[in-house]
Structure 1
Amino acid sequence: MEEWINFLRTLETDNVVVPGADASKTVDSALQDSGAQSPVLRLQLDSEASQHNDWANLSSLARDGAQHDIDQQVLLDSARSYDPERIALIMFTSGTSSGKPKDCSRRQN
């Protein structure tokens, strides 16, 4: 749990994806304990109903999304736009010497 809390404080992520309801409960608990900002999107991959209404599941998201037109060009243009502040990836060390993995954010620039 302490590792989750540390990740949530460090990353301040907008999205969290977990395999299922058990993991969503763990993340909710860690968020509450950490005082970190709540992610905009909380997504669980299985279709099992989560305990909380603010978690979406992948099958519902796909089903609902199929009912709406997507302007693919707008989506591609947005993805291809250069933003030097956008984080492209986050790498973590093994944490073997300290016991806690360290993160290194890499921006687009």
Structure 2
Amino acid sequence: MLRSKQGHANYKVVNKKTLKSTNIKLHDYLSNKQVHLASTKPDVIWQFSQRLKEIYAEKGEDISVYVDCKIGINGSPYKQLVDPTVDLTTVPWNIFKHSEWLLPSQ
């Protein structure tokens, strides 16, 4: 293995009408492997945010999803990966260019 990546992510769902926020327990929705992916890979973070939007829409709720995600590569200190102030349900995924909600690595 050439590198290792560790991370943790906190997903917060906010009801747009009532402004009630709920922290998501990833293990309620994902397997252990999926939790790791949803904590370290930007595309999976975005996809899971979209899935949460669908799940809550089925319940009749319009929500925002905010993710506080930090990762460490090869044992380095954890650094912020995702801008925690961006509602990921409103941003498009563009595979061929940089997404503004992904923070630059130092």
Q: TM-score, normalised by structure 1?
A: 0.26
RCO (CA 8 Å, sep 6+): is it higher in 1 or 2? 2
Structure with the largest fraction of strand: 2
What is the TM-score with the length of structure 2 in the denominator? 0.27
Between Structure 1 and Structure 2, the one with more helix by share is 1
